Amino acid sequence: MSSLTFPCLDYIGIMSKIFNSFFCWHKGVFVRTSFFILISLILLWVSRRPLRNFRSHGFYRFFAFEGVVALVLINHPYWFDEPFVLRQLISWMLLFCSVGFVIHGVQLLRIVGGRGDRHDMPENLAFENTVTLVEVGLYRFIRHPMYASLLLLAWGALLKHPVPLTVALAVSTTLFLVATAKVEERENLRFFGAQYQDYCRRSKMFIPFVF
């Protein structure tokens, strides 16, 4: 009797562990998918006007944000795995730089850029309608600190668990960010004229002294 009981108990224990692991995995996927849908709905509402006009930079920015959100949520379970391997150390460096870029960029836009009406671009969000070209601080070296922040966030998230799917997401997000910046630069050239053209010659797009 005991020889049958113990194998049965072992089998039940093994199946219980498998079931719990399977349930937890599915629960995690469900939660992350739910978050992605919720965030996507918010982004859709915020981007409702630019998504009607593929000539506006906000059209491409929406897809860049979607890529970043997907990368963060997909790789969330691996965020703190092997914390001291080189890949993770580079990832954290990129993520901290991402935070610094966006905080510094927003502050300079608010303090130096000012705010006004941009009738030529009704799709713009309010904070984007600057009336003064910002050329100080980080803007002295790169034209798009906030898009650079998203770029750093995307690649920092990728390095948490680089697999073909996440690499493809990071590359596509990068392409959408480049498209966003290119379209926005055309808009700024129309608004600021020769001053912006000269600024483009003296600065890089995302990475100081590099790109």
Helix, coil or strand: residue 142: strand
Cα angle vertex 71, ends 69, 73, to 5°? 70
Per the structure block, which two tokens stand in for 21? 């692991």
User: What pTM did the predictor assign?
Assistant: 0.84
Q: Is the separation of the CB atoms in 112 and 134 below 8 Å?
A: yes
Average pLDDT, the chain: 86
Q: Say what the pLDDT of residue 34 is.
A: 87
Q: What are phi and psi of 109, to 5 degrees?
A: -60, -40
The 10s digit of each residue's pLDDT in 45-65 is 999 999 999 899 999 999 999
The 10s digit of each residue's pLDDT in 150-168 is 999 999 999 999 999 999 9
Burial of 206 (0-12, 13-18, 19+ CB in 10 A): buried
